């Protein structure tokens, strides 16, 4: 159908087809893009490859077992230990985050001869993809988590500038960048309104800001199930650490009020993308990679982990491929952009 092919259009063409969005975005995203056919996940890995990945994860997890437990403040801000940052990049990035840079790069209209800032750059996935010095486009990554930046320094080219700083107090002059991108970071900022205002401040007139924000938890069965399991096995405080990435997922109630306060009167281009799928080799991988690669890594005890693993196959049955055992579910997210 038209709506399936619409998901492959470049953002500038999508923008021409969109109405001037203020509050009509919800109807567009929920009634039109909801009809997108879920694209299949990456080609199945052989079982031996999955086993090798699991062994590497277990070894990394064992090496970090003596680390101190994170505070609830760190969980709320998405702060992770060095070991968790390593596992995040090796296991969660390819299975969860890898499909998303193309969406924010398209929404941000990133092109040649531009200076691009990647806010909350994490391990540098987006930063490295937009850095194209031969085309005149250079990237700067900003993150408040030094552990993530250590991983990003290995991923990114040596000439990529990586800065440790808070998104609500960026150490850049006004109008420093042509494009500012923020993939799945806004919900972790202590002051998201101030962070968006900072993004606008450092963007040149005529430039563009683009953000990716996960949809609401209730729209993502795999994540809602994980929160339920964590609540049962580890208690509500730890489970809330997994809720945080989806805390701005309700457009009208949570996300848009922040954006309208931060940039009043600015037209927002908003689209909800339903086409990407999270995929894990098994229910056990789904548990261990989520917990061990996130802020919960040093807070969940071995006994609690054993309970999570034992309950996972039954909990994920509705979105597990019966033939392969792979756990797969859609991961909708909101793509928001505005011109400066």
What tens digit of pLDDT does each residue of 132-150 get? 999 999 999 999 999 999 9
| Mean predicted confidence (pLDDT) in 101-119 | 97
* Gyration radius of the chain over CA positions: 20
| Mean predicted confidence (pLDDT) in 159-188 | 97
Name which residue leads in pLDDT, 294 or 31.
Answer: 294
For residue 118, the Cα-to-chain-centroid distance in whole angstroms is 13
User: At 71, is the secondary structure helix, strand, or coil?
Assistant: coil
User: At 109, is the secondary structure helix, strand, or coil?
Assistant: coil
Q: How confident is the model at residue 86 (pLDDT cuts 50, 70, 90)?
A: confident
Q: How confident is the model at residue 82 (pLDDT cuts 50, 70, 90)?
A: confident
Torsion of CA 101, 104, 110, 114, to 10 degrees: -80
Closest CA to 190 of 140, 148, 147, 247: 247
The predicted structure's pLDDT at residue 80: 61
Give percent above pLDDT 70 in the chain. Answer: 75
At 250-301, the pLDDT tens digits run 999 999 999 999 999 999 999 999 989 999 999 999 998 888 776 677 788 9
- Please report how the helices 221-234 and 302-315 are oriented relative to each other, as an axis angle in degrees rounded to 10: 140
The encoded tokens of residue 236 equal 């509500």
Strand segments (E) across the chain:
115-119, 138-143, 161-164, 177-183, 203-214, 269-273, 277-280, 327-330, 333-339
Judge whether residue 239 has pLDDT over 60: yes
- End-to-end alpha-carbon separation of the chain, Å? 34
CB atoms < 10 A from the CB of 100, how many? 20
Long-range contacts of 136-145 (CB under 8 A, 24+ apart): 136/112, 137/110, 137/111, 137/112, 137/113, 140/115, 140/116, 140/177, 141/117, 142/117, 142/118, 142/167, 142/170, 144/77, 144/79, 144/120, 145/78, 145/79, 145/80, 145/85
* pLDDT, mean over the chain: 81
d(CA 131, CA 157): 8
DSSP code, position 319: G
Q: How confident is the model at residue 16 (pLDDT cuts 50, 70, 90)?
A: very low
The predicted structure's pLDDT at residue 43: 29
Torsion of CA 313, 215, 93, 160, to 10 degrees: -170
The predicted structure's pLDDT at residue 15: 43
The predicted structure's pLDDT at residue 84: 73
Give, in order, the Cα–Cα distances in Å from 104 to each of 47, 109, 150: 33, 8, 23
The predicted structure's pLDDT at residue 27: 31
At 179-220, the pLDDT tens digits run 999 999 999 999 999 999 999 999 999 999 999 999 999 999
pTM score: 0.77
């Amino acid at each position: 159908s038209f709506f399936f092919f619409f998901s492959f259009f470049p953002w500038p063409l999508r923008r021409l087809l969109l109405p001037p969005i203020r509050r009509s975005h919800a109807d567009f995203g929920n009634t039109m893009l909801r009809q997108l056919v879920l694209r299949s996940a990456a080609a199945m890995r052989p079982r031996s490859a999955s086993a090798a990945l699991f062994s590497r994860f277990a070894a990394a997890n064992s090496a970090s077992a003596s680390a101190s437990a994170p505070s609830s403040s760190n969980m709320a801000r998405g702060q992770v230990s060095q070991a968790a940052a390593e596992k995040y990049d090796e296991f969660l990035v390819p299975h969860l985050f890898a499909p998303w840079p193309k969406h924010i790069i398209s929404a941000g209209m990133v092109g040649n001869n531009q200076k691009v800032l990647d806010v909350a750059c994490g391990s540098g996935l987006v930063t490295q993809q937009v850095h194209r010095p031969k085309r005149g486009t250079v990237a700067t990554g900003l993150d408040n988590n030094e552990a993530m930046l250590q991983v990003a320094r290995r991923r990114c080219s040596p000439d990529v500038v990586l800065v440790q700083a808070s998104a609500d107090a960026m150490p850049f002059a006004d109008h420093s960048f042509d494009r500012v991108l923020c993939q799945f970071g806004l919900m972790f900022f202590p002051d998201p309104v101030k962070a968006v205002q900072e993004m606008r401040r450092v963007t040149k007139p005529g430039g563009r800001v683009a953000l990716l924000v996960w949809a609401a938890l209730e729209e993502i069965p795999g994540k809602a199930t994980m929160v339920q399991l964590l609540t049962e096995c580890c208690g509500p405080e730890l489970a809330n650490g997994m809720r945080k990435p989806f805390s701005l997922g309700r457009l009208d109630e949570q996300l848009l009020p922040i954006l309208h306060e931060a940039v009043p009167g600015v037209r927002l281009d908003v689209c909800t993308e339903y086409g990407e799928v999270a995929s894990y080799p098994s229910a056990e991988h789904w548990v261990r990679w989520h917990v061990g690669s996130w802020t919960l890594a040093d807070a969940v005890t071995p006994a609690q982990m054993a309970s999570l693993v034992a309950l996972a196959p039954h909990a994920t049955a509705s979105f597990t491929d019966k033939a392969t055992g792979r756990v797969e579910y859609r991961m909708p997210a909101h793509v928001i952009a505005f011109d400066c």
